[in-house]
Amino acid sequence: MPKRNKIIAVYPGSFDPLTNGHLDIIKKASAMFPEIIIAAANNLNKNHCFSLQDRLSMIKEAVKDIKNVKAAAFDGLVADYLARINSFILIRGLRAVSDFEYEFQMALMNRNLNAKIETIFLMPDLDYTFLSSSLVKEIAILGGKTVKFVPPCVEKKLKLLRKR
Protein backbone atom coordinates (compact mmCIF):
# COMPACT_ATOMS: atom_id res chain seq x y z
CA MET A 1 0.00 0.00 0.00
CA PRO A 2 1.36 3.48 -0.84
CA LYS A 3 2.53 5.59 2.13
CA ARG A 4 0.62 8.80 2.78
CA ASN A 5 1.06 11.55 5.35
CA LYS A 6 -2.68 11.90 5.77
CA ILE A 7 -5.02 9.26 4.46
CA ILE A 8 -7.93 10.73 2.52
CA ALA A 9 -10.86 8.42 1.85
CA VAL A 10 -13.26 9.31 -0.95
CA TYR A 11 -16.95 8.35 -0.89
CA PRO A 12 -18.19 8.90 -4.45
CA GLY A 13 -21.78 8.71 -5.56
CA SER A 14 -24.50 10.47 -7.42
CA PHE A 15 -26.36 11.28 -4.16
CA ASP A 16 -29.55 12.17 -6.02
CA PRO A 17 -30.39 12.99 -3.26
CA LEU A 18 -28.30 12.13 -0.19
CA THR A 19 -30.28 9.92 2.21
CA ASN A 20 -29.87 8.96 5.86
CA GLY A 21 -28.42 5.69 4.56
CA HIS A 22 -25.59 7.59 2.85
CA LEU A 23 -25.15 9.66 6.03
CA ASP A 24 -24.84 6.48 8.07
CA ILE A 25 -21.98 5.30 5.81
CA ILE A 26 -20.36 8.77 6.04
CA LYS A 27 -20.44 8.68 9.86
CA LYS A 28 -18.98 5.17 9.94
CA ALA A 29 -16.22 6.19 7.51
CA SER A 30 -15.47 9.39 9.43
CA ALA A 31 -14.73 7.30 12.52
CA MET A 32 -12.24 5.19 10.54
CA PHE A 33 -10.26 7.72 8.48
CA PRO A 34 -8.73 11.11 9.29
CA GLU A 35 -10.34 12.82 6.28
CA ILE A 36 -13.33 11.92 4.12
CA ILE A 37 -14.33 13.61 0.90
CA ILE A 38 -17.87 13.05 -0.27
CA ALA A 39 -17.47 13.30 -4.01
CA ALA A 40 -20.65 13.97 -5.97
CA ALA A 41 -20.67 13.07 -9.65
CA ASN A 42 -22.98 12.44 -12.51
CA ASN A 43 -23.73 8.77 -13.13
CA LEU A 44 -24.00 8.56 -16.92
CA ASN A 45 -26.48 5.68 -16.58
CA LYS A 46 -28.98 7.76 -14.60
CA ASN A 47 -31.19 10.75 -15.34
CA HIS A 48 -30.59 12.87 -12.29
CA CYS A 49 -33.46 14.73 -10.71
CA PHE A 50 -31.34 17.33 -8.89
CA SER A 51 -28.51 19.29 -10.52
CA LEU A 52 -24.96 18.48 -9.44
CA GLN A 53 -24.81 21.90 -7.76
CA ASP A 54 -28.01 21.20 -5.77
CA ARG A 55 -26.80 17.74 -4.79
CA LEU A 56 -23.50 19.19 -3.61
CA SER A 57 -25.11 21.94 -1.55
CA MET A 58 -27.44 19.42 0.15
CA ILE A 59 -24.42 17.23 1.02
CA LYS A 60 -22.47 20.23 2.36
CA GLU A 61 -25.35 21.25 4.59
CA ALA A 62 -25.94 17.69 5.84
CA VAL A 63 -22.29 17.08 6.82
CA LYS A 64 -21.43 20.54 8.11
CA ASP A 65 -21.15 19.35 11.72
CA ILE A 66 -18.88 16.38 10.99
CA LYS A 67 -15.39 17.80 11.40
CA ASN A 68 -13.31 15.52 9.17
CA VAL A 69 -15.81 15.38 6.29
CA LYS A 70 -15.75 17.64 3.22
CA ALA A 71 -17.84 17.62 0.08
CA ALA A 72 -16.79 18.20 -3.52
CA ALA A 73 -18.01 17.56 -7.04
CA PHE A 74 -15.95 16.03 -9.81
CA ASP A 75 -16.10 15.43 -13.55
CA GLY A 76 -14.64 12.48 -15.40
CA LEU A 77 -13.38 9.23 -13.94
CA VAL A 78 -13.37 8.65 -10.21
CA ALA A 79 -10.04 6.81 -10.62
CA ASP A 80 -8.47 10.00 -12.02
CA TYR A 81 -10.09 12.13 -9.30
CA LEU A 82 -8.50 9.98 -6.58
CA ALA A 83 -5.10 10.29 -8.28
CA ARG A 84 -5.51 14.10 -8.48
CA ILE A 85 -6.16 14.47 -4.77
CA ASN A 86 -3.59 11.86 -3.77
CA SER A 87 -6.08 9.38 -2.35
CA PHE A 88 -6.18 5.62 -2.81
CA ILE A 89 -9.20 4.68 -0.69
CA LEU A 90 -12.66 4.58 -2.16
CA ILE A 91 -15.63 3.96 0.15
CA ARG A 92 -18.89 2.43 -1.02
CA GLY A 93 -21.95 1.20 0.86
CA LEU A 94 -23.26 -2.34 0.43
CA ARG A 95 -26.90 -2.66 1.45
CA ALA A 96 -27.69 -6.15 0.27
CA VAL A 97 -26.42 -8.96 -1.91
CA SER A 98 -28.17 -7.28 -4.84
CA ASP A 99 -25.70 -4.35 -4.63
CA PHE A 100 -22.72 -6.67 -4.78
CA GLU A 101 -22.39 -7.44 -8.47
CA TYR A 102 -22.49 -3.79 -9.56
CA GLU A 103 -20.15 -2.70 -6.77
CA PHE A 104 -17.72 -5.58 -7.39
CA GLN A 105 -17.54 -4.71 -11.08
CA MET A 106 -16.93 -1.00 -10.33
CA ALA A 107 -14.29 -1.79 -7.70
CA LEU A 108 -12.34 -4.03 -10.06
CA MET A 109 -12.64 -1.59 -12.97
CA ASN A 110 -11.45 1.28 -10.78
CA ARG A 111 -8.46 -0.78 -9.68
CA ASN A 112 -7.79 -1.61 -13.31
CA LEU A 113 -7.79 2.09 -14.18
CA ASN A 114 -5.65 3.04 -11.17
CA ALA A 115 -3.84 0.10 -9.55
CA LYS A 116 -3.43 1.92 -6.23
CA ILE A 117 -7.15 2.13 -5.51
CA GLU A 118 -8.59 0.00 -2.73
CA THR A 119 -12.39 -0.01 -2.44
CA ILE A 120 -13.70 -0.46 1.08
CA PHE A 121 -17.30 -1.57 1.49
CA LEU A 122 -19.24 -0.53 4.57
CA MET A 123 -22.61 -1.94 5.55
CA PRO A 124 -25.27 0.54 6.65
CA ASP A 125 -27.34 -0.13 9.77
CA LEU A 126 -30.26 -2.50 9.16
CA ASP A 127 -32.71 0.43 9.28
CA TYR A 128 -31.26 1.75 6.01
CA THR A 129 -30.93 -1.42 3.96
CA PHE A 130 -34.26 -0.81 2.22
CA LEU A 131 -33.57 2.85 1.48
CA SER A 132 -32.70 4.27 -1.94
CA SER A 133 -32.62 7.71 -3.50
CA SER A 134 -35.13 6.63 -6.18
CA LEU A 135 -37.65 5.44 -3.59
CA VAL A 136 -37.49 8.67 -1.58
CA LYS A 137 -37.98 10.72 -4.76
CA GLU A 138 -40.99 8.59 -5.71
CA ILE A 139 -42.50 8.94 -2.23
CA ALA A 140 -41.97 12.72 -2.33
CA ILE A 141 -43.47 13.14 -5.81
CA LEU A 142 -46.55 11.17 -4.76
CA GLY A 143 -47.05 13.23 -1.61
CA GLY A 144 -45.74 10.74 1.00
CA LYS A 145 -43.60 11.61 4.01
CA THR A 146 -39.84 11.38 3.59
CA VAL A 147 -38.80 13.01 6.87
CA LYS A 148 -37.58 9.68 8.35
CA PHE A 149 -35.38 8.90 5.38
CA VAL A 150 -33.42 12.06 4.61
CA PRO A 151 -31.73 14.96 6.43
CA PRO A 152 -33.87 18.12 6.89
CA CYS A 153 -32.11 20.08 4.10
CA VAL A 154 -32.95 17.28 1.63
CA GLU A 155 -36.52 17.02 2.93
CA LYS A 156 -37.00 20.72 2.07
CA LYS A 157 -35.86 20.17 -1.53
CA LEU A 158 -37.93 16.99 -1.89
CA LYS A 159 -41.09 18.89 -0.96
CA LEU A 160 -40.63 20.93 -4.15
CA LEU A 161 -41.00 17.74 -6.21
CA ARG A 162 -44.50 17.03 -4.93
CA LYS A 163 -47.09 16.67 -7.70
CA ARG A 164 -49.80 19.28 -7.59
Residues near ligand COA, by CB under 6 A: 12-16, 19, 21-22, 25, 41, 43, 46, 77-79, 93, 95, 106, 109-110, 124, 128, 131-134
Counting every residue, how long is the chain? 164
* 156 tagged catalytic: no
Q: Among 46, 145, 156, 159, which one carries the catalytic annotation?
A: 46
Q: What are phi and psi of 39, to 5 degrees?
A: -110, 105
Minimum gap (Å) between residue 132 Cβ and ligand COA: 4
Q: Among 55, 87, 92, 95, which one carries the catalytic annotation?
A: 95
* 111 tagged catalytic: no
* 133 tagged catalytic: yes
| Rounded to 5°, angle at Cα 56 from 144 and 31 | 90
* 46 tagged catalytic: yes
Instruction: Give the separation between CA 19 and CA 131, rounded to whole angstroms.
Output: 8
For 164, what's the count of Cα atoms within 13 Å in the CB-facing half-sphere?
1
Catalytic residues: 22, 46, 95, 133
